[in-house]
Copies of this chain bind each other. A is one copy, B any other.
Amino acid sequence: MLRIGSSVEYATRLMVRLAAEADGATLSAERMSALENVPRDYVDQILQRLRRAGLVESRRGAQGGYKLSLEPSRITIGRIVKAVDEGVFEAVCGRYSAGDTKCSHSDGCGIRPVWERLGLFVEEYLDNVTLAELLEPELGVSARVKHLFGAER
C-alpha cells in the first residue's frame, strides 16, 4: 500500500549528497554511485529523471558532474518523489470499477473520498519536507503541516 521503492530511496540519497556539497561543487555519477553503493547505470538513470524534472543540472565531459539547480531549502521531497516515481498516487476509480463505467459505490458511500484524501495528505506531507531539513533533522516538519487538517471533508 505504501512503499518506498528503490528509485525513490536512491534519488533522495543522491539529492542529500549533492545538497551536502559545499557551494556549487559538482559530483560525478561515478562518485555518487560509489558513495551510496548504488549500481552505476542505475544512478545514471535516476539522475536523468531528476535533471528532466529540473532538480539538478549537469555538465558533460571531463570534470563534469551534477549539482543542485536550486537551494536545498527550495527542494521538497515531494518533487523528488514525483520526478522518479511516475505514477505516485495511483487513481483508484476506474480501476476495479464494478462492471459498468462507474464504481458501484460512486454515490451514497464514501469509499473513494477516503483514498483520494489519503493521497492528498501524503502528497502534502511530502511537499512540506525540504532537502535542507534532511541535513538538519532537528528542525522537524510537523509544525508546518498542521494546517492540512483544518479543512473538513
Contact = CB atoms under 8 A, between A and B. Distances in A.
How many monomers of this protein are in the complex?
A: 2
A62 interface: no
Interface residues of A, number: 60
A90 interface: yes
B142 A149 contact: yes
Interface string A80-116: 0100010011101001101100001100011101110
Interface of A: 1-6, 8-10, 12-13, 16, 35-38, 77, 81, 85, 88-90, 92, 95-96, 98-99, 104-105, 109-111, 113-115, 117-119, 121-122, 125-126, 129, 133-137, 140-143, 145-146, 148-153
